[in-house]
């Protein structure tokens, strides 16, 4: 999994994508 840094940048988009990928 990637660091929470990406989540802080775009929680609405990254969070959804990351959850699906990882």
pLDDT digits (tens, 9 = 90+) for 1-22: 555 555 555 555 665 555 555 4
pLDDT for 22? 47
| Structure tokens belonging to residue 22 | 């990882």
For residue 17, the model assigns a pLDDT of 58
Coil, helix or strand for 4? coil
Helices of type H across 1-22: 5-9, 14-21
The residues near 22 (Cβ < 8 Å, ≥ 6 apart) are 1, 2
């Amino acid at each position: 999994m990637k660091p929470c840094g990406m989540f802080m940048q775009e929680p609405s988009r990254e969070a959804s994508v990351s959850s699906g990928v990882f």
